[in-house]
Structure formats: C-alpha cells, structure tokens
Chains A and B, each alone.
Chain A
Amino acid sequence: NAGVTQTPKFRILKIGQSMTLQCTQDMNHNYMYWYRQDPGMGLKLIYYSVGAGITDKGEVPNGYNVSRSTTEDFPLRLELAAPSQTSVYFCASNRPAYEQYFGPGTRLTVT
C-alpha cells in the first residue's frame, strides 16, 4: 500500500491564483481530512469527510473548498490565494476509532 499520497510537494502561488491540492489514499478509509500547519501552531483542521459525498467544515475553512466524489480522493481547492494561506498542508485518513494516517505534506507559499 502507498498509504496517503499528496501532490504537489511544493508550490509557489501568486496572490489571487487558484490551485488544487491532491490527496489519495489506498486503504479504503472512510474518513479523510485536510489540515494546515503553521510554524509553532500545531495542526488546524480545514475540512473533513466521513464518506464519499459527505464533507464538513473544520476549524479554519475560509478560503478553501473540498469535494469527495470517491472513497480514495479528497482534493482541496484554494480559490483566490492569499499570503495568509502560506502553510504546510497535510491530508490524513482513517477508519472510525483508529489512528489517522498522514500524507507527506504540501508546502505552499503565496507571494
């Protein structure tokens, strides 16, 4: 199993541009998540999904959108990128009541 994979690993965006961060898991997990990690701030939940077709907001959803059309994929869309969205983004997945598995992260800089 590849586990949780994320693309791209690095990206630089200009203010106002849009992009999609890709996340795929091959463990047939129902639950998937997007977090952002800012220096010294731990992880903040952006959006999560408990199954295909079901998504919900986390703690910091503004400026982001998600979709979950399949069990495997959970893309995160940034519209009109802002410098405040400069961060490291992690995707994770799990089965209910079990630990979350994390991807390697995407380092995004908005200038």
Chain B
Amino acid sequence: SQELEQSPQSLIVQEGKNLTINCTSSKTLYGLYWYKQKYGEGLIFLMMLQKGGEEKSHEKITAKLDEKKQQSSLHITASQPSHAGIYLCGADMDSGGSNYKLTFGKGTLLTVNP
C-alpha cells in the first residue's frame, strides 16, 4: 500500500479559482516537502514543513502541516495558467529529520484553463 497518499490524482480548474491538494501519511512525518514538476522536467522545490501546525506561504501558494504531523495541504489562491503542472509531496518518514530518505506521493496533475 502507498505510504503517502495524495488527493486528488488530477484537478482541472478555471483560472482565478482556488484549489487544495492533500497529502496524507499513515506515519508521523519528520519533514514534509512540496515540489512542482512541469512535464519532462525536474522537480522544483516549493516549501518545507517540519513542525506540527506550521504554515508557510509563497506568493499565492500556502502549505500547512497538521498538528499531528500526518497530513499536509497545499492551497493555491486565484490560480493562474503558470500554476499548471504536477505537484508532489515528499516526506521524511524514516530518517528522523535528517531527510536522507524521502517517500513521495504519486503526484497531483493540475490543469488551469484560461
């Protein structure tokens, strides 16, 4: 079974709409990382969360890690075509915060229609 579940698998939104992507773990997370990937390219780091209840924002993207450190959400406000791509969550579940063994979710494919 997948240790890190992402939902939804894919999402199509109209430009200007808000959206949320979730990442859920069956284990306590020592660190949670959000990445964005455009088709055929490498992963671009977005945000890192380590403390329960932590919330970080960058431009129109906000990520939160719940108090129990088993779920994270990525929220995009007023989506734009430039937000389109695959969003991946990666979690440190085994290396105690050293972050040398990340487990990744399967990704969420986001399409933003103009």
Q: Point out residues on A near B: beta carbons under 8 Å.
A: 4, 31, 35, 40-45, 48, 50, 58, 90, 92, 94, 96-105, 107
Contact B31 A97 (CB under 8 A): yes
Chain A residues within an 8 Å CB radius of B9: 40
Count A-B pairs with CB separation below 8 Å. 59
Known A31-B100, A48-B100; contact A42-B106, beta-carbon cutoff 8 A: yes
Among the listed stretches B12-20, B38-46, B55-63, B69-77, which one makes contact with chain A, having 4 or more residues with CB under 8 Å of it?
A: B38-46
Nearest CB on B from A37, distance (A): 9
Nearest CB on A from B38, distance (A): 11
How far apart sit A7 and B24, CA to CA, in the bound complex (Å)? Answer: 34
Type the 1/0 row for B6-37, where 1 means its CB is closer than 8 Å to any CB of A: 00010000000000000000000001010100
Contact A90 B97 (CB under 8 A): no
B102 at the interface (CB under 8 A from A): yes
Nearest CB on B from A45, distance (A): 7
Contact B97 A103 (CB under 8 A): no
Contact B99 A94 (CB under 8 A): yes
Residue of A nearest to B102 (CB): A100
Known A96-B98, A97-B98; contact A90-B43, beta-carbon cutoff 8 A: yes
Contact A45 B42 (CB under 8 A): no
How far apart sit A45 and B92, CA to CA, in the bound complex (Å)? Answer: 13
How far apart sit A47 and B46, CA to CA, in the bound complex (Å)? Answer: 24
Residue of A nearest to B107 (CB): A42
Residue of B nearest to A104 (CB): B42
